[in-house]
Structure 1
């Protein structure tokens, strides 16, 4: 058993640090170059410290069918969400893809997965995995890929979203964690890209973020079938940091004038302003 002391190690994305939470006996914060990546409580996988992670968990809670799910996670971090789903829906089959082998090794060494979790790990580029995976093989695809604090450009395109849609079963959902701030050029382009692929799209974010008062995370959902927007709205409104669900006419107004991102036009998500997410 490792002592609960901070751990620092070079990884592909910079310098990764695991810092124990003094208030929770076996809980850890993972950062890369000072940007928070994950919070993991080894004794309580249902404890989700980051609000955007809670919103992704709500999405999986409400995903169909009932019982175990087949999920592809793009981006590993501390494997917080896969651990949550393994506990919430035992028997789920989860594949986690992250191109940073050193980060995966650090996490599995110090924050080992429970036996029989059904979680498999692969060091691979997220888009390459989308392109090689079998069609209609997933109930959900979750994209939470950041190079440091920015989403890589090649994971923001129309072709990438189409590749994710190809993997989904008819009821399946593609959920992406996106970060942006006013005037939301990046976020609006991502909503437009999802809308070009999926019949149903919704956006989950805190009101302060949507009003442009601060930079922050938003969760973008796309599906071929109706999304559970009412149930999602109730859940995110009851969180410690309440959010709201934008869809339909309101989302169309938000996205007005934006178009889908083509390969030659793709750029990474914007750099967060100083201090937006960093840990001192």
Structure 2
């Protein structure tokens, strides 16, 4: 399918679910309700959220992987997901219906955020705000700045948490600045990341956690224990952040171009092989 901005998106069947891939990068992976999320980043976000979050704002939607996972564990949670692309929102509505309690707003997420949110109940009343916005595999500049994080904080309860699906790898320059920006706004900052990305050996995701309340280290580490991704909670950030500068809107700082393999051809070949195998079995049975 072609998205509203002209980018190409693909739906690929895999492991009993559906993958949304945009510009060759996997963005969402929807499985049956109650099944463990296949995406490591989704599991990290769930670990950071905990089980007591009842009002959530998601900036960036895709196929609504995280809101679905939250609804599976907390069916009474109220969630708003802000998705820019009308074609994606229509796809979700028509092909992947959402559980109760999730509302999708088709809007520019930063403009929505700066406007104070969809309803008055969101301002100062949210348990969590999740920023999960990518374009061409990169985080747009409007979602990396102190102004963005301050607007997100305005929606939170005093005990609320801001989560950012960010990136790490290479010289970590971008990651360091993002952490410095969050530390300038919130009392407590941590992140979940793989050791290989933290040490610059590979490019990958990092979930940034910010709150004015202490990070629940023991609970998060227990939730991550045994996860195949080997994501780890990092709370000692002094040396990593160092003298990194706070990011402002005026800096127009995008995340780095991702250095990732294109898994699209391999996934399509796998699906073709499975389809051929099914056809051959059907011929044999007849």
Q: TM-score when scaled to structure 2?
A: 0.87
Which residue of the partner structure matches residue 86 of structure 1?
A: 71
Larger deviation, residues 265-274 vs 171-180: 265-274
Point out the structure with the larger helix share: 2
**Superposed displacement of residue 45, structure 1:** 4.2
Answering whether residue 10 of structure 2 is matched by residue 17 of structure 1, we say: yes
How far the C-alpha of 1:127 sits from its partner, in A, is 1.4
Question: Which residue matches 2:208?
Answer: 220
Instruction: Say whether the 8 Å CA contact 2:168–2:198 is kept in structure 1.
Output: no
CA contact (8 A) 1:13 1:100 kept: no
| SS of residue paired to 1:175 | strand
Name the CA distance, whole Å, in 1 between partners of 2:252 and 2:71.
34
Aligned partner of 1:34 in structure 2 is 24
SS in 2 for 1:230: helix
Query: Pairwise mapping of residues 253-264 of structure 1 onto structure 2 (< 5 A)?
Result: 253-264=239-250
Q: Secondary structure at the match of 1:195?
A: helix
Cα distance per residue 1:31-76 (max 9 Å; x no partner): 11211000001x23442111011000112225xxx3x610000000
Instruction: Classify 1:9/1:263 alpha carbon distance in 2 versus 1 (closer, same or farther; 3 Å).
Output: closer
Deviation at 1:220, TM superposition (A): 0.1
State the 4+ residue runs in structure 1 displaced beyond 6 angstroms. none
**What is the aligned partner in structure 2 of residue 4 from structure 1?**
none
Unaligned ranges ≥5, structure 2: 266-286
For residues 81-134 of structure 1, the C-alpha deviation after alignment (integer angstroms, 9 at most, x for no partner) is: 1111111011110000011111111222221223xx100001111111212224
1:273 matches 2:273: no
Distance 2:95 2:101 in 1: 19
Q: Deviations over 1:116-170 (max 9, x none)?
A: x100001111111212224212100011100120110111111000011111001
SS at match of 1:261: coil
Gaps of 5+ in 1: 1-7
Aligned residues: 260
Structure 2 CA distance for partners of 1:125 and 1:44, relative to 1, 3 Å: same
Q: 2:86 aligns with which of 101, 112, 126?
A: 101
Q: What does residue range 129-140 of structure 1 map to in structure 2 within 5 Å?
A: 129-132=112-115, 133=117, 134=120, 135-140=123-128
Give the aligned CA root-mean-square deviation in angstroms.
1.5
Residue range with higher mean Cα deviation, 189-198 or 95-104: 95-104
Counterpart for residue 119 of structure 1? 102
Question: 1:12, 1:103 within 8 Å by CA — same for their partners in 2?
Answer: no
Shift in Å at residue 242 of structure 1?
1.1
Matching residue within 124, 144, 150 for 1:156: 144
